[in-house]
Amino acid sequence: MANSAQAGASLRMDADELKRLLTSGQPITVLDSRNPSAWAASNVKIPGAVHVDAGQLRVDPQWPRDRLTVVY
């Protein structure tokens, strides 16, 4: 992964990497940014993921810096 000091950098991971991190017990915040109808219609959701409106998503400087936040 790239250095987090790179302001504005976009870091990407595939589903297998996210699954590995989730099963490792590492503290991760997962934000599900699918549109409301896609989210509601889906029977596949990551346990513990928080549904957010992608149009309203903003980086909050109060978010913990000691844990990974993943948006999908």
Indicate left, alpha or beta for 54 from its phi (over 0: left) and psi (-120 to 50: alpha): alpha
Query: Domain locations in the chain?
Result: 15-71
This prediction's pTM = 0.73
Q: What is the pLDDT of residues 11-51, one digit of tens each?
A: 888 989 999 999 998 899 899 999 989 999 999 999 989 89
Between CA 45 and CA 38 the distance in angstroms is 11
